[in-house]
Structure formats: structure tokens, C-alpha cells
Amino acid sequence: MKSFYLCTFYFMDIIHNIGELQRKLHSQKENGLSIGFVPTMGALHQGHISLVEKASRENDIVVVSIFVNPTQFNNPDDLQNYPRTLDADTTLLRKHKCNFVFAPDEKTIYPEPDTRIFSFGRLEEVMEGMHRPGHFTGVARVVSKLFSIVKPHKAYFGEKDFQQLAIIQNMVDQMKFDTSIVPCPIIREEDGLAMSSRNALLTPAQRNVASSIYQAMKKVEKKYNTNTINELKSYFKEAVELSPLLKVEYVEIADELTLEPIDQKLDKQHVRLFVAVHAGDVRLIDNLKINS
């Protein structure tokens, strides 16, 4: 089933079938047009739209996928509760230069169980990898499938999932995909909270205190030159957990090139703060480059 949004030079086609998408993209490539790709799990917000807009500036054709990938969820409840808003997502994308929305079902992406195991070394052993075992193999499974289907020239990922970005670049190198990975800056709400599909699951009270995550991160940045690494991590945890609605899962200060947590000061050129915080059942991640 297809729908079209037409204007003088612009269309949007919603596709659920792999073969149909590939035929249409092949025709575009035969005409010498470049393909930009934005993989998403839906529940789109302005952070996603910033990726779409960058892709549209740098490519002739933009593809956005919307697929809640079951293989990257450790918690079945998290998968079950993940927001699914396809109609609202496609309505939003009609206002931006998205040419193809690829919205497959699970059977389309996984006609058979995907048992591939990826190895990313230390990249998958720290932070998110330590707290969500198997998560990055699940990410690599779906992204590699999507890259094989779409065959984009460029693919766009937000830096909010900074570790995932490093994993995907490593996967591209391992599998020799002819796709350039384009990192895009974190988009934040007015109070600093990083935009995330999971924000929609926060209660009003949780949403009200969630802004303290970014506030505490900025204070850690300011204190970087005058405090030890352990003092900085303790400060973040104490500042966030002043609210009984928030619980810090981890806070790490790491080399952003290797993602190795540090326990002694490094040159600030490549230092980044990484955090994960629970607001009830909602898990929020964020990161911040240390520039002070």
C-alpha cells in the first residue's frame, strides 16, 4: 500500500516492501541521484528531523526507515512500551524533504531469526555495552540489514547515541559497506533535556526534574579543571539524585576516540561525559563534550 505527497518537485512514498523500495531506489541511482538515509525507530521528534534536514541538504533523495527493532532491546517491557506513532511520524515527515518512508514489519526484516554475532572489542564492553549486554549486536543486525536494503551513499545518526555511532562506524568498516556515516549534533529541549522518543513516556513530574541531568552535566564540565575524575562523577550522581524520581545508572568520563573511561585527567580535546539515568521505568542517556 502506497501514499504520495506531491508538489512541483517533491514526492513522499510510504513503502512496506523491500523489493518495491529497492526498485524505486535503483531507478533513482540509475538517474545519477545520491541517496541519504536516516534509520529510526519512529516516535519522531525535532532531533530526527534535524537529521532529515541535513540529509536533504547533502543528497538528492532522502530515505527514512521506521522500525522498532526487537533484537536491540534487553528488557521485554521496554520493547513493549516503546512508542509507536507511524501515522504521526509520516505526517511530520510530509513537512520535510523525505522522499521514501520505509516502514517494514518484523517479518519483513527478520523472515528468519538473525543469529549473527558481531564483535566490537572494547567499544561494546564499556558503558552501554556493560549495562545492556547484546544490545550492540542487535543494533548491528538491523543496521546492516537496512544498509543492505537501501544501499545509501550517506547515513545520518545523532550524537546522543555516541557509543552506537562508534559501533556503527566500526561495523561499516568490518563489512566494507560503501556508505559514509555522518554524525549529527544532539538536539535539546529548551531546558537542556536531550530530545528522545522515550521522553514521551515520562510523567509530568519526571519530565519536570529530567532537565537536572543536563544541568548537572554542564556543572561537571565547569568543574573539570579543578576536581578529580571521581569527584566529578560523584558530583553528577549526587546532583541528579537530589530528586527521588531519578536514579543514575552510570556516569563515565571517557576518551571519545576509544570510549575508554579515564580515571586521570586527559587533554580536553577528546574528553566526553557519558551518563544513563532512570526516571521510573524510562531510561535516558546523554553525553557532553568537555570544553571548559
Helical packing angle, 204-223 and 229-240, nearest 10°: 160
Which conformational region is residue 278 in: left (phi greater than 0), alpha (psi within -120 to 50 degrees), or beta? beta
User: Grid coordinates in use for 216?
Assistant: 548537572
The CA distance from 60 to 115, in Å, is: 35
Q: What is the pLDDT along the chain (292 residues), one digit of tens a residue?
A: 344 433 334 689 999 999 999 999 999 999 999 999 999 999 999 999 999 999 999 999 999 999 999 999 988 888 998 999 999 999 999 999 899 999 999 999 999 999 999 999 999 999 999 999 999 999 999 999 999 999 999 999 999 999 999 999 999 999 999 999 999 999 999 999 999 999 999 999 999 999 999 999 999 999 999 999 999 999 999 999 999 999 999 999 999 999 999 988 766 678 999 999 999 999 999 999 998 6
Give the pLDDT confidence score for residue 2 in this predicted structure. Answer: 41
Q: Are 61 and 31 in contact (CB under 8 A)?
A: no
Catalytic residues, by residue number, are 48
Neighbours of 9 (CB within 10 A): 6
Task: List Cβ neighbours of 223 (8 Å cut-off, separation of 6 or more).
Answer: 231, 232, 235
Reduced 3-state DSSP string for 44-96: CCHHHHHHHHHHHHHCCEEEEEECCCHHHCCCHHHHHHCCCCHHHHHHHHCCC
Closest CA to 273 of 282, 195, 291: 291
Closest CA to 181 of 146, 150, 144, 156: 156
User: Grid coordinates in use for 10?
Assistant: 517533491
Q: Where are the alpha helices (DSSP H) in the chain?
A: 18-30, 46-58, 76-81, 86-93, 106-109, 128-131, 135-150, 162-175, 204-223, 229-240
